[in-house]
Structure 1
Amino acid sequence: MKLDGKRLWRSFGYAWQGIQQVIKTEQNMQVHVFAALLVIGAGLYFRITVFEWMILIVLIAGMWSLELINTAIEKTIDLVTEEYHPLAKKAKDAAAGAVLVYAIASVIVGGLVFFKYIF
């Protein structure tokens, strides 16, 4: 298999455009970006350990990834049908539920990371 450098860089460009578009247009993603900036600021302020940084990076990347997937699912469903359909609602609700589960877990784990620094 031959690696095509131009094609590879183009695919990274498309991915970056997707991330930028979701940040610009989706309120929930904007909340996640703001929360990530707060967490990063707190990590710098408290001088957390490398291991704690690794945990926070995985949490932030996971949250952003899930929000990107959720948005892709929602936009795909909107493209397929503009009419209300119970299966479309179930798919959108399930994707949103996945984001919520991860967000709650992230808050709990993040709280555990910062607990010893705050108290």
Structure 2
Amino acid sequence: MKKFIRGFGYAFNGLAHAAKTQLNFRVHLVAALVAVYAGYALHIATGEWLWIGFCIALVLMAELLNTALEFLTNLVSPEWNKTAGHVKDMGAAAVLVAALFALLTGAVIFVPKIMLLIHAA
């Protein structure tokens, strides 16, 4: 049981390190807070909350995995290496795909509600 509980400590250490050292992770956290605030303000439905939550988790996980991949690549290949560069680029591409999916999902959920507010005013 101690190992299990200790594992949560390691996970929280990873989150804290990412938040302290990674600008992109902080940007994604701010975007997540904006999405949560917008969802609250626009009274989105339960199903829409699930999609927003899924997108937030997907983007943050992709960013954490990309950061871990970059750290590992730097450890294994500290000098410039073309293949190491491709590894880092593909990790960044994974974050881009997740972020674009989140952006599209957010647009589908929020734009119609914002348009209703604009036309109602």
TM-score by length of 1: 0.94
SS, match of residue 38 in structure 1: helix
Structure 1 position 42 matched with structure 2 position 38: yes
State the match for 2:53 in structure 1: 57
Using CA pairs below 8 Å that are at least 6 residues apart, which structure has the higher relative contact order? Answer: 2
Identity %: 37
Q: Quote the Cα distance in structure 2 between the aligned partners of 1:90 and 1:81.
A: 12
How many correspondences in the alignment? 115
Structure 1 position 28 matched with structure 2 position 34: no
Displacement, 1:58?
0.3
Displacement, 1:116?
1.9
Structure 1 position 79 matched with structure 2 position 92: no
**Counterpart residue identity of residue 41, structure 2:** Y
Gaps of 5+ in 2: 116-121
**Counterpart residue identity of residue 36, structure 1:** A
Gaps of 5+ in 1: none
Displacement, 1:23?
1.0
SS, match of residue 73 in structure 1: helix
State the match for 1:70 in structure 2: 66
Aligned residue among 86, 90, 96 for 1:100: 96
Moved segments of 4+, more than 6 Å = none
